[in-house]
Amino acid sequence: MLSKLKTLFQSYVDASVTSDNQNTLPENLIAAILMIEVMKSDHHLDAREEQELLAVLIKTFGLDEAAAADLHELAINKAEESTSLFEFTAQINAQFNDEAKLSLIKNMWRIAFADGEIDRYEDSVIRQVSELIYVSHSDFIRMKIQARDLS
């Protein structure tokens, strides 16, 4: 599994070198970055959110714990370098199908629910991403309810 993740990261590096100002990121890295944005939005990093993020990465992307930790670390670094959500949501619109978009929104809600309370800033980040990736309001609410029921 670790070799699979290394291959994925190498393809990211190769794509960055060969593309003309297009830093296309792998889907799992984009998703991890946006989940980290939810974690950071309330300015309070909670260990329960960290654990939920790792659990989501393992389950959603079929990673082992070491690969999930590596992806988490890479996502933190990319999130710190980012200037807006748009650079990621534009790639989501180009790469994700509707099912993957809904899964992303539900996983973002899972992170928000992990500490037992939804902060208005967490809600705002998830709402902004939903709007930028053209997820309907009814699907936004449906994913919120599904994530709440999982927590």
pLDDT tens digits, one per residue of 17-76 = 334 345 688 999 999 999 999 999 988 778 999 999 999 999 999 999 999 999 999 999
Give a yes or no: residue 91 inside a domain. Answer: yes
Give a yes or no: residue 3 inside a domain. Answer: no
Tokens of residue 70, six digits: 């590596």
Total structural domains within the chain = 1
State the pTM of this model. 0.82
- DSSP 8-state class, residue 116: S
Ramachandran angles phi, psi of 128, nearest 5°: -60, -45
CATH code for the domain of 119: 1.10.3680.10
Query: Which amino acid is present at 123?
Result: D
Model pLDDT, residue 25? 87
Q: Mind listing the pLDDT tens digit for each residue in 13-28?
A: 444 433 434 568 899 9
Give a yes or no: residue 11 inside a domain. Answer: no
